[in-house]
Each structure stands twice: as structure tokens, then as C-alpha cells.
Amino acid sequence: MKNLKTLLCVLSSGLLSVGCIKVMDKEQEKAPEMMMPTTQNPGPGNGMLDPGQMTNIDPTKPIAKAGQRSRRRLDLDQLQVALTDATGLTWMEDRDGNEVNRFDELSETLGKPDFDGITHEELAPTTTFQRFLDEASLSICRKLLDNEQKLPQADRIFFVHASWEDDWASSPSRLMSNLQMLLLRYHGREYASDSEGIKPWVSLYQQAESASNGVPLTAWNTICVGLLTHPDFYTF
């Protein structure tokens, strides 16, 4: 009788353990579903802004299809060529009266291979890369717009269809034509004036002009920096 009681206790304990394990398994199966994010990237702005609303010019990250690779950034040599092709300038700064190429100066920091200690260049758009691209764009755009104001119209590469004195209220068609030209030059994208693709850029210009108390040159500087720091410029 004593042995029968012991056997029943063992069987009961085993059944309870199995039941607990099954419950735990079900909870573990549900866990990944509960951890999956439910929000999605809102994508580019629609070009219609309320007062104080920011414009989103960053595209929704594309998902590579089967047989296609994901986009990656230009290496430093390619980036310098792209900047020179688009603006006629590269990132130079004065050091005690000498012009120094900042990309050369920061090549080790940015991971450019020297084939001694570094043999591979990381082509992900890291935070460090983004930071220095921002600095480069601010420097280049300031010099570009200064230079453009000293050139005859036939020699300009930024103010081709509009000038730095045209504002959106008085010259919307000229400013639109200039935006279309710049997007084609910098990003290789040809947009109609009423297309969805150009609306975020129009909104960015209008918002920057308004924020600067109606100074078109400041708005164009914002557009210039936005074009150079946009993924369509530095990734392929």
C-alpha cells in the first residue's frame, strides 16, 4: 500500500511538471509576437506643412529584393569625386594659411584603408560618417553660395534658373525650376513640378525661408546641405 501511494505521488508530480512545461512553451512561443514592433516608418513628408511642423526629406529605407543587394554608401574617394562633380568643391579648411583637405586629414578616423593596419573600408553610413558629412556639407555649401554670387549667370552651377534674391512669393516658377535642376544634378532624379517627389523639397525651402524672415539665400543654403546629406547623394 505504501509503495502504491509513492507511485501515485511520483506520477502526479510528473504530470504537473509536463503541464508546467507545456504552459511555459506556449508562453515562450507567444513572446516573439509580443516583441515585434507595430509602428512603421512614416516615409517622406507630403509637402503640406502646418506652422512649426518639420519636413521629412528622408526616404523610406528600401528593402532589397531577392537577387539584389542593399544600398551602401560611397567610399571616401568616391564621395570626394561626387562632391566635386556636384559643387566644384571639396572639403578644404585653412590651417595657418594652408588649405588642408579634411577628408585626407580624417581618413583614419573614417576608416579609409591604408593597407597596413586597415585593409577594409566599412561602407555602412555610421554615425561618425554622418557627422563628418554634415560638417563637410555645411562648409562646402557656404563657400559654394558665396562663390555663386560673384559669378556671371552663365557660369553658375547652383543658381541657374533663379537668383539668391528671388523669394517664393514673387518668383515661384523660377525657384521651382531651380529645385528641379538641383535634384537632377545632385540625385539624378527628374521630378515634374506637381510630383510627390518634389513636394518635401518645396516645403523645406518654404519653411527655411520663413524661419529666416524671408531671406532666400538662407533657404538655399538649407537646400544645399539637405541635398548633400540625403541618402540619394551618398548611397548607391
What would the pLDDT profile of 109-148 be if each residue is shown by its tens digit?
777 776 666 776 777 788 888 999 999 999 999 999 999 9
| Among 70, 74, 96, CA closest to 84 | 74
Q: Smallest Cα–Cα separation from 225: which of 199, 198, 201?
A: 201
pTM of full prediction above 0.75: no
pLDDT of residue 48: 46
* 48 vs 126, higher pLDDT: 126
Mean of pLDDT over the chain: 79
Asked whether residue 45 is domain-assigned, the answer is no
Please tell me which of 7-11, 111-115, 216-220 the model is most confident about, judged by mean pLDDT: 216-220
**20 lies in some domain:** no
Arithmetic mean of pLDDT, 32-39: 45
32 assigned to some structural domain:
no
Task: Give the contacts of 30 (CB within 8 A, at least 6 positions apart).
Answer: none
Compare 28 and 229 and report the one with higher pLDDT.
Answer: 229
Please report whether residue 148 resides in a domain: yes
Could you tell me which residue, 49 or 134, shows the higher pLDDT? 134
Number of domains in the chain: 1
In a domain? residue 15: no
The answer to whether residue 34 is domain-embedded is no
Percent of the chain exceeding pLDDT 90 equals 50
Range of the domain at 161: 76-234
- Does 194 fall in a domain? yes
Question: Does residue 179 form part of some domain?
Answer: yes
3-state secondary structure of 194: coil
Crossing angle of the two packed helices 127-148 and 216-229, in degrees rounded to 10: 140
Least confident of 7-21, 119-133, 180-194: 7-21
Q: What is the pLDDT of residue 75?
A: 87
Residue 82 has pLDDT above 90, yes or no: yes
Grid cell, residue 219, equals 533657404
